[in-house]
């Protein structure tokens, strides 16, 4: 019924609605299209089937738009046959003898009624008869057909339809989906391994055929286990793509390892290569360089430390790495040297943080405690942790004759 017009006749009404799926109130199409100010009824059209609506009416006159009416009681539209099929139908992958079909579920507001589900239809490319399967869950997004008759890596025509209690709706457009691949049938050969350090080995192999009529090789898996373990407890390292070598890390030093390599496809792994063995190198020295001390003379800072002697079960020290950085910056530089000292001209008067570690065939050792060299002038030298030094601003770093400089 009409509300108060506030002394300006109502010229038009607008019917608005909201649903559990809408964002706020939305204006509706009506019959008549324009509802004049004398009307007391109108028909809302183009509503979605089987959706719960609330309605309200807004009046307007020459002055403007008034306050909306109170919402009506909730009303549900009647059911109808679905009028929209699922989107983004796709598929592929899976295990041997499987055809995997996927789609994007139809939103609840477009299901048009109760008892909503999907009809999945598929046929081998070049055949005429469709196989069909009903998927009764409205939220489903995947169907897997498993049968030994499914040939590997073969094209299928696929479409997905919809239905509810009122009947069947439309199908999606037909697309081509490939059935699951087979696992590779050949093992990698000429497998070998080389120890890089106490914790790393490099594994090499010759590739199996990259693509066959039954699938594609997606990469390789390296299975490895220590001598005191067995194959059932093997750890695995996956190398994606058509690589013929990979680095395995996180190993124990001075340990015999067995390794074998398998190719894999989306269906699983193929047969293993013959096992090979490799022994990791002795671990690096467990002792950190000690007694770090430094002294300054003019613009030079000389850093010294005690030599580290490896134990019998450790790799011999082949050199030292000096790690240093400006305390105001995060970039750390590394100097490698065979001596137990380096001579520096530091670039500016900032404080520097320095530490030293050994390196060996087994890898890098433990770092020493950090020392700080302040960017101020002091008359004498100092020891590790001392504040005594003399620094000047230079743009170069001077090393002892045997030192090598590299970014870390």
| Domain ranges (residues) in the chain | 12-76, 87-178, 189-279, 293-407
Which pLDDT tens digit goes with each residue over 250-265? 999 999 999 999 999 9
Average the pLDDT over 89-101 and give the result: 95
b (16+ CB within 10 A) / e for 14-39: bbbbbbeeeeeeeebebeeeebeeee
% residues pLDDT > 90 (the chain)? 60
Asked if 87-178 and 189-279 have one fold, the answer is yes
Three-state DSSP state, 67:
coil
Residue 110 main-chain phi, psi, to 5 deg: -110, 10
**Residue 218 to residue 264: CA distance in whole angstroms:** 6
Residue 214 in tokens: 């039954």
Task: Determine the pLDDT at residue 373.
Answer: 79
Average the pLDDT over 159-176 and give the result: 98
pLDDT level of residue 6 (50, 70, 90 thresholds): low
Mean pLDDT of the chain: 87
CATH class label, 87-178 = mainly beta
Average the pLDDT over 201-221 and give the result: 89
Q: Domain 293-407: what homologous superfamily? A: Immunoglobulins (2.60.40.10)
pLDDT level of residue 297 (50, 70, 90 thresholds): low
Task: Determine the pLDDT at residue 164.
Answer: 98
Average the pLDDT over 380-398 and give the result: 36
pLDDT at 339 over 50: yes
Give, in order, the Cα–Cα distances in Å from 115 to each of 53, 102, 166: 20, 20, 9
Beta bridge partners of 56: 16
Average the pLDDT over 157-170 and give the result: 98
Rounded to 5 degrees, what angle do the CA atoms 78, 82, 86 make?
A: 145
Task: Determine the pLDDT at residue 391.
Answer: 31
Is it true that domain 12-76 has CATH number 3.40.1160.10? no
pLDDT level of residue 290 (50, 70, 90 thresholds): confident
pLDDT at 322 over 60: yes
Average the pLDDT over 305-334 and give the result: 86
Mean pLDDT check: name the lowest of 148-157, 222-231, 376-385, 399-408: 399-408
pLDDT level of residue 348 (50, 70, 90 thresholds): low
Give the end-to-end CA distance of the chain in Å, rounded to a whole number. 81
% residues pLDDT > 70 (the chain)? 88
pLDDT at 405 over 60: no
pLDDT level of residue 213 (50, 70, 90 thresholds): low
Concatenated DSSP letters of 117-175: EEEEEEEETT--PPEEEEE--TT--EEEEE-TTS-TT-EEEEEEEEEETTEEEEEPPPE
Q: Decide if 294 contacts 305 (C-beta within 8 A).
A: no
Task: Determine the pLDDT at residue 352.
Answer: 83
**Residue 165 to residue 188: CA distance in whole angstroms:** 55
Mean pLDDT check: name the lowest of 60-64, 89-93, 233-237: 60-64
| Long-range interactions of 366-371: CB distance < 8 A, separation 24+ | 366/284, 366/285, 366/286, 366/287, 366/288, 367/288, 367/323, 368/288, 368/289, 368/290, 368/292, 368/305, 369/288, 369/292, 371/292, 371/294
Task: Determine the pLDDT at residue 353.
Answer: 86
Q: Which CATH architecture has domain 189-279?
A: Sandwich (2.60)
Task: Determine the pLDDT at residue 379.
Answer: 44
Average the pLDDT over 233-237 and give the result: 95
Average the pLDDT over 316-337 and give the result: 86
- CA 122 to the chain's CA centroid: 32
Residue 228 in tokens: 């005191």
pLDDT level of residue 354 (50, 70, 90 thresholds): confident
pLDDT at 396 over 60: no
Q: How many residues does the chain have?
A: 408
Task: Determine the pLDDT at residue 394.
Answer: 31
Range with the largest mean pLDDT of 94-108, 200-214, 360-374: 94-108
Average the pLDDT over 116-130 and give the result: 97
pLDDT at 154 over 90: yes
The more confidently predicted of residues 26 and 210 is 26
Residue 116 main-chain phi, psi, to 5 deg: -80, 140
Whether the model pTM is above 0.85: no
């Amino acid at each position: 019924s009409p509300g108060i017009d506030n002394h300006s006749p109502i010229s038009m009404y607008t019917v608005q609605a909201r649903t559990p799926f809408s964002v706020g109130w939305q204006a509706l199409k009506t019959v008549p299209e324009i509802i004049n100010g004398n009307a007391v009824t109108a028909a809302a059209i183009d509503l979605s089937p089987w959706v719960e609506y609330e309605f309200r009416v807004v009046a307007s006159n020459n002055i403007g738009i008034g306050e909306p009416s109170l919402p009506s009681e909730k009303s549900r539209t009647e059911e109808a046959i679905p009028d929209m099929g699922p989107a983004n139908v796709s598929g592929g992958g899976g295990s041997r003898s499987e055809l995997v079909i996927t789609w994007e579920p139809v939103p609840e507001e477009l299901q048009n009624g109760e008892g909503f589900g999907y009809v999945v239809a598929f046929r081998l490319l070049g055949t005429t008869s469709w196989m069909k399967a009903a998927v009764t869950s409205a939220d489903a997004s995947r169907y897997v057909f498993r049968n030994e008759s499914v040939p590997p890596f073969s094209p299928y025509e696929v479409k997905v339809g919809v239905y509810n209690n009122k009947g069947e709706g439309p199908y999606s457009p037909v697309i081509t989906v490939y059935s699951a691949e087979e696992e590779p049938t050949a093992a990698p050969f000429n497998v070998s391994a080389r120890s890089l350090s106490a914790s790393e080995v490099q594994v090499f192999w010759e590739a199996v055929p990259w693509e066959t009529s039954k699938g594609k090789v997606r990469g390789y898996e390296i299975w490895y286990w220590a001598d005191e373990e067995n194959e059932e407890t093997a750890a695995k390292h996956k190398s994606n793509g058509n690589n013929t070598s990979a680095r395995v890390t996180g190993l124990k030093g001075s340990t015999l390892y067995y390794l074998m390599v398998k190719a894999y496809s989306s269906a699983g792994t193929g047969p293993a290569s013959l096992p090979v063995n490799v022994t990791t190198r002795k671990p690096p020295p467990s002792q950190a360089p000690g007694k770090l001390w430094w002294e300054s003379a003019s613009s030079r800072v000389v850093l010294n430390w005690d030599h580290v002697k490896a134990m019998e079960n450790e790799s011999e020290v082949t050199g030292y790495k000096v790690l240093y950085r400006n305390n105001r910056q995060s970039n750390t530089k590394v100097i490698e040297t065979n001596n137990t000292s380096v001579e520096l001209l530091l670039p500016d008067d900032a404080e520097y943080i320095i530490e030293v570690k050994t390196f060996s065939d087994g890898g890098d050792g433990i770092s020493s405690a950090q020392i700080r060299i302040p960017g101020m002038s002091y008359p004498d030298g100092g020891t590790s942790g001392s504040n005594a030094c003399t620094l000047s601003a230079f743009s170069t770093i001077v090393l002892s004759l045997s030192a090598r400089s590299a970014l870390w």
